[in-house]
Each structure stands twice: as C-alpha cells, then as structure tokens.
Structure 1
C-alpha cells in the first residue's frame, strides 16, 4: 500500500525564484511549522504588507517572532547599523537591476553573517536572480508575491529538508458532549492504520474520562498523563514506553481515566506531546474532549486537520457554527474543518434535516453517519472497531470515506441542499 506523503516540498530552484506560480492549497498544507526564529520585513507597498501580515497569522508561524516596518533597503540598513539583525530580513524594492546590488551594499555591511535575506523586486530577470544569489541573497521573488510563495521560501531556508519527516496531526472534537466524536476518532485512527498500512498513534487527550482504552479493550499501566506531567523526560524512547500496541500499525497513548487528581493544564501543556508524536509516526490522531480552553484552542489552531462531530439538533448547530467561526480566525490560511454529522435518524428524536443543517453552516459534510445502536453498541461493548464487527456495513464504508478525506486522498462528496428559513429563524431566536 502507498504510504502517506508527509515530506515538505523541495527548495525552489532559480527558475522558481524568478517568478514562481501561485502555490496551491495542497502546497501550503504540506509546509512544516517554522522553528523559533526572528523575521523583520520591510515593505514599500500596502499589498506586500498585507501579505506579510497574513503570513504572520499562519499557524506554521506560531514560534516566529515577526516584525513589520514600512520602509526600503535604506531604512533596513539604517536600522541595523545600531541594532542586531534578525535571522531573516524580507525587503521589498523597486530599484532597477543596474543599481540594485549597489543599493544592497550598505545593508550587507551591517548584517550579521548568519542573517538571511529574501528580496521582493519588480524585475523578472534571471541574470539578476543569479547575481543576487551569488552575492548572498537567499531568495529573490518577483512581486506581486502570494502568501504561500513567501511562506514556502522562508520554510525552504529554515526547515531542514534532510530532517526526519514530520507527521500530520488530525484533531477530533465534538460540537457538544456525547455526540460520538471519540468513537469517530478511534475508528478513523484504526482505519487509517489499516487502509494505508501507515504507522498511526492515537492520543486520548481526555485525561479524566477518556474511553480509548475501553474501545480498544486495553488496560495500560502508563499513558499520556506521564507525558504531560513530566515533559522534561519526554523523548522518542520515553514515548515508546508509554504506547500500547492496538494493531499492526496502530499504537495508543491512553488516558488514565481516573479521578485521583484534578487535571488542570496550561495553554501549551500538550504541545511537547504533539511534537514528539509527529516525529514518531506519519499520522497522529488527537481525541480532544468537548471543552473550549486555552490548550484545546491551541491544539485546534495548530493541527493539520480538524474534524468536528455534531448531531442534527439546534444546540449542535449553534455550537458548530461558533466553532467554525472561531477556527476561521485561528486558521485563516487553512481550509475549513471537516464536519461529520452523526446519529442521524434516531427514532422519536426531532431533528434538523442534514441538508438544512449543512446549509446553515455553509459547509459540505465529510460524512453523514446514520443512527445504528445495534452495530455501535456491539462494537463498544466488545472493545472492537466497526470494521472488525461488520466490515461490510454502511458505517464501515463511511469511516473509510472519512479516512480518505482527512488524509487528503479524496474530495468530499456533495449533498443536496434544502430550505433554510426555519433553521435560520431558530438561530436568530437563540
């Protein structure tokens, strides 16, 4: 079976530097987070300033110290004559090729040897590009520059292509408690590991009430609590001792699921755990509890993919809308989270029609799972996944569909849309 490709793009060549095409969403999604570096951008146009500001808000820039100044090459040279230079300087200029190298000379005199420079110019001239690269400029881009181009250029400089590949993180969260988000997360982790023969780690982040150990019929002595509360010990060797093998390609980082202490965390408590998971396996599935705190907000902002699970009622519609709105702001350069509508068609329960539910959110569903108490109940009580209980069921096929979508192997299917007046009316009254 094919393995999931989680490598970064190759560094751009000189032809890319002299006027690359706009990066696609897939190219942007494949970029890895940048390390802790400092960047100072000098922008002469409002367009580039907006592009740099948009890049600064990207989740891959979380660790970067970014500063933006309205100015030219001369302004940069004057500023750094009396202050240390950052790791990277981005400079916009409209100077013609014949005078550009001379204009850069004062800046070269005050730059630290380790400082890198990306130049954004107006001339698509390959001879100029070669001269600039020979003189020590790291990259030359022809304006107007797209955000993805600029971010890819920075990543090509500071993300080591020889480093170990960084796995993708997929975060699952419910729009409301009890909607089946954990069940979907566990079945998807199992499905990804089996369908694609890809090493996958499932991390149960609901420390007091997590159910992954029950769903996989495991009783590990150690798990995620040891990783969270002893971050100074956390490395690949320590993580390997905490993992429980669930199948050939799936390992579990289980929650303790006991109430012998309170589980209070800081905003970045789980980030070291997620980083080590991404270095340890191509796919890390994060099962988040239904809560909105600094640490869940942080993980949702930085995950490669987000899956929200909801059931078709008004409270779920309101919560899902609020979550989507919040994540649009937290992840401005990523596609919207995937939404799974679960437990559809429960007998005697008034429901919002799936087409109305999705149209109110202005989103297409990744999947719709019908209510099937017999199948899901049997799987839960026997500690098995849906495909192990009935591989030919409609639910098993739906989980396969979700696995393909969240790993980028297929596009979402369309659903028929219906009327909205009743649903929107209910939302307005809330």
Structure 2
C-alpha cells in the first residue's frame, strides 16, 4: 500500500475485464444504468460536451447527474460541506506525481461508499496501478467517447454476473388504423416460435386493445392490474396476469373496456417495464396511436422502435414529425425501423414507396401489400399469418422483421412481401 491511503471503496476490479467490449464505443451494446447519483467535474469543454451527451442518453435515464466546471480541488471543497454522491467523475491535467498528492484532500471528504473515476491526460501504467491500489475505481485517458464513459460507470455499478436485461421492442403506428398492432402481434408470435425464446406481448392500448381478439383469448386479468396497482408487482403477481398464447409466448392483455377513464402519469408503465426486462428475454409492446407523456416515456426507454405507416400524405407528415421527435429523445440510438403497410389498396390513391420515403431520407425494412382476405381471415379466426399460410410472402416478411428487431439479422433491402409488379406499376404513376 502506498504511503497515501485514499480510502476509496474500490469494489471488484474484475468488472473492468467484463466490460472491455463496451469500451469500443458501441453505445447500443450498453445496458441501462441503475438509479445512482453522479457528479462530474470538468476542466475542458470537450469533456463537458461528452458529459452533456451522457446526460440525455436514455441509458442514463435513471441516473441523477450533475455537471460542474472544476478540478479536484473544487470537488474536495464542495464535498467538505455536502454528502458525496454514489460516483464522482473528475477531469484533471495533473501529472502522475502531482495527481496522487491532489487526491489526498478529496479522500478525506469522500464517503467510504463513494466511487471515483479519474479522467486524466497521461497514459501511464504505473500511475494506473497506483490509482487502483489507492482505491480509485477507474482511470480514463483520452481519446475516449461518451460510450467509454458510460461503460466505465457500468463496470462499477452493473453486475456482470447478473442475468442480462431483456430486449424491449415497441410497435406504434404513424396513424390510427395502419396495422401496427397486427404487425406487433405477428412479430411477437414469430420471435417466440422461430427462436424458441420466451416472449411477452404487452398490449398498452387499455381501452381498445386487440391482442386478446387476435389470439382468441379472454383473460380476466392483464396489464390494467399491473398499471393501476404497481405496489403489488412482483414475479408471482406477473405470472398470474400473463396468459399463455403459445409454447413460448405470453400475453399481457388489455381489458378493452370503457368502464373507466384511462389517464396515466408519465411513469405509469415504468414498473411493469422494469419487471418485464428482468424476467422476459423479449418483450413486445403494442402501443396505441397517441402522443402523451407516458407514450414518450415508453418510447424513450425501449431498445427498438418499429413505426408502421400507410402510403398517404397524413402518414408521411406524422412519420416525419415522429422521427424528428424521437431523434431528440434518443440522440444516441439508431433510427426506428419503418414499415410501409397496406400498399396497393384498391381504388385508394397512394404515394409511391420511393416518393414516400425520399423526404424521410430513410428506407423501410418491409413493404407489406394490402391483403384483406389473408389478414381478415387470420383476425377473425384468432390466428397469426404464419399459422394461416406459413409459406406466404407476408409470413416470410414477418419472419425477417422478427430477425431484425431481435438483432439476429440485418435487412439491407425492404422486403416487398410479394408485391412484384405492383411496385413497378406504382413507380410508373
């Protein structure tokens, strides 16, 4: 032990090795951070910008983050009169010899449970070892990214031996009646059957949800009990609310009743989403076409978003607005997946797919033709498209979407579900 004992609580250094993959800058590979308090002290504009980026990232949504312009001395002065947070991040330009001496006053005012990350200028292995030996949790040297900082935090506060959080996929329509729920239900069924993965389909449209109809179920309980009695939520209670729809598929059904008003606070769905993430490998959320605080909160917190639209002007406008809003809400996440549905409806004027997506500067992952017979028969019989006709182009499209949203494949070109010459005719109009 060094003559200078800083008495920081180091925790296990094995975490560092567990998270080396996250230090590559792949922010999407990072898991959401727990509810912790973090105070960052910056001396450069560059590091301040990186911490600002962290502050608005969805994976930091539960973190209480403060950012202050100041050095180690400023941190020691502040914490001499106020409690220290769970984590202190301090940027310094001090050399190896000076750094250890400058940390001494901070060590005297830090709570034993507080962790410390140092952001320094010198790539010195001897310095690193000395810092680790004296209780510093992590030492970061430039160049680094926002993902590196968040990965360093995760290496301290996320247990690498715990079960990984489940993947959450939200489906929403750019307009009502575009078939978003049907696509969500078929994709949930596909994920559960194709990959033999335990999947939960949660119908968040409490007054008008159709998941119970599409799967020919009439459960007595469902998501309403989870939302309106969050104090009862645990794994046992959740098991009672779930309805089995297949070998690996469970349904958290909406009541689909109008006996009450369905007004929610912003975080109303957060407890059930947290529980589903801990207990289900994949959760598919069927969101109604509405834009409220609770909808925004759900969309900000999920791993993947799929937006369904139909080829008309109102859908194009709504899609553009949603993409702009989601980009502000999720600045460090990839763009949502877009699906163009109900293409080729008889006697309906439509915007050609190329013209529809040109102003969005994005391409759809799937183009699904209007097929009243196939979808109507499946809905009325309480069955999925792959159950009706497993070899149909539409069933293959749902299979490809299931691969995409679970990270098992990348669709480079939109699947056209058998449109064939129809697309060519649309392009010629």
Taking structure 1 as the reference length, the TM-score comes to 0.91
Task: Tell me, in whole angstroms, the C-alpha distance in 2 between the residues paired with 1:308 and 1:16.
Answer: 33
User: Kindly tell me: are residues 142 and 224 of structure 1, through their superposed partners in 2, closer, same or farther at Cα, counting changes over 3 Å?
Assistant: same
Task: Tell me, in whole angstroms, the C-alpha distance in 2 between the residues paired with 1:45 and 1:415.
Answer: 44
Deviation for aligned residue 1:367: 1.0
1:23 equivalent to 2:22? Answer: no
Q: Which residue of 1 aligns with 2:154?
A: 155
Task: Tell me, in whole angstroms, the C-alpha distance in 2 between the residues paired with 1:128 and 1:415.
Answer: 52
Deviation for aligned residue 1:397: 0.7
**Corresponding pairs, count:** 402
Task: Tell me, in whole angstroms, the C-alpha distance in 2 between the residues paired with 1:230 and 1:293.
Answer: 21
Instruction: Kindly report which structure 2 residues correspond to 1:169-184, keeping only aligned pairs within 5 A, or say none.
Output: 169-184=168-183
Task: Tell me, in whole angstroms, the C-alpha distance in 2 between the residues paired with 1:352 and 1:413.
Answer: 22
Q: Which residue of 1 aligns with 2:424?
A: none
For each residue in 1:298-348, what CA deviation from the matched residue of structure 2 results, as whole angstroms up to 9, or x when unmatched? 000111111100001000000010000000000011001111110111111
Q: Is the 8 A contact 2:58 2:300 kept in 1?
A: yes
Task: Tell me, in whole angstroms, the C-alpha distance in 1 between the residues paired with 2:282 and 2:18.
Answer: 33
Instruction: Kindly report which structure 2 residues correspond to 1:72-91, keeping only aligned pairs within 5 A, or say none.
Output: 72-91=71-90
Q: Is the 8 A contact 2:42 2:90 kept in 1?
A: yes
Deviation for aligned residue 1:145: 2.2
Q: Which residue of 2 aligns with 1:280?
A: 279
Deviation for aligned residue 1:11: 3.1
Instruction: Kindly report which structure 2 residues correspond to 1:287-302, keeping only aligned pairs within 5 A, or say none.
Output: 287-302=286-301
For each residue in 1:101-143, what CA deviation from the matched residue of structure 2 results, as whole angstroms up to 9, or x when unmatched? 1111111111110110111111111221111111111001112
Task: Tell me, in whole angstroms, the C-alpha distance in 1 between the residues paired with 2:20 and 2:167.
Answer: 26
1:12 equivalent to 2:11? Answer: no
Q: Which residue of 2 aligns with 1:65?
A: 64
Q: Is the 8 A contact 1:15 1:126 kept in 2?
A: no
Deviation for aligned residue 1:415: 5.6
For each residue in 1:122-173, what CA deviation from the matched residue of structure 2 results, as whole angstroms up to 9, or x when unmatched? 1111221111111111001112320000011111111122333211110110
Deviation for aligned residue 1:15: 11
Task: Tell me, in whole angstroms, the C-alpha distance in 1 between the residues paired with 2:340 and 2:375.
Answer: 15
For each residue in 1:191-246, what CA deviation from the matched residue of structure 2 results, as whole angstroms up to 9, or x when unmatched? 00011110000000101100000000111111111111111111100000010000
Q: Is the 8 A contact 1:42 1:68 kept in 2?
A: yes
Task: Tell me, in whole angstroms, the C-alpha distance in 2 between the residues paired with 1:68 and 1:413.
Answer: 40
Partner SS state of residue 161, structure 1: coil
Taking structure 2 as the reference length, the TM-score comes to 0.91
Gaps of 5+ in 1: 1-9, 417-430
User: Kindly tell me: are residues 15 and 209 of structure 1, through their superposed partners in 2, closer, same or farther at Cα, counting changes over 3 Å?
Assistant: closer
Deviation for aligned residue 1:35: 1.7
Q: Which residue of 2 aligns with 1:215?
A: 214
Q: Is the 8 A contact 2:267 2:297 kept in 1?
A: yes
Partner SS state of residue 172, structure 2: strand
Q: Which residue of 1 aligns with 2:344?
A: 345
Q: CA RMSD in A?
A: 1.7
Deviation for aligned residue 1:30: 2.9
Q: Which residue of 2 aligns with 1:380?
A: 379
Q: Is the 8 A contact 1:364 1:412 kept in 2?
A: no
Instruction: Kindly report which structure 2 residues correspond to 1:200-211, keeping only aligned pairs within 5 A, or say none.
Output: 200-211=199-210
Task: Tell me, in whole angstroms, the C-alpha distance in 1 between the residues paired with 2:18 and 2:104.
Answer: 22
Task: Tell me, in whole angstroms, the C-alpha distance in 2 between the residues paired with 1:325 and 1:369.
Answer: 24
Instruction: Kindly report which structure 2 residues correspond to 1:24-423, keeping only aligned pairs within 5 A, or say none.
Output: 24=26, 28-414=27-413
For each residue in 1:248-305, what CA deviation from the matched residue of structure 2 results, as whole angstroms up to 9, or x when unmatched? 0000000011111111111111111111111111001000000000101100011111
Q: Once superposed, which parts of structure 1, at least 4 consecutive aligned residues long, lie more than 3 Å away?
A: 13-17
Deviates more, 1:386-395 or 1:271-280: 271-280
Q: Is the 8 A contact 1:48 1:145 kept in 2?
A: no
Task: Tell me, in whole angstroms, the C-alpha distance in 1 between the residues paired with 2:388 and 2:363.
Answer: 29
For each residue in 1:11-66, what CA deviation from the matched residue of structure 2 results, as whole angstroms up to 9, or x when unmatched? 3239969xx96422xxx223222222111100111010000010010111111111
Partner SS state of residue 341, structure 1: strand
For each residue in 1:69-121, what CA deviation from the matched residue of structure 2 results, as whole angstroms up to 9, or x when unmatched? 11111111111111111110111111111221111111111111011011111
Task: Tell me, in whole angstroms, the C-alpha distance in 1 between the residues paired with 2:356 and 2:131.
Answer: 55
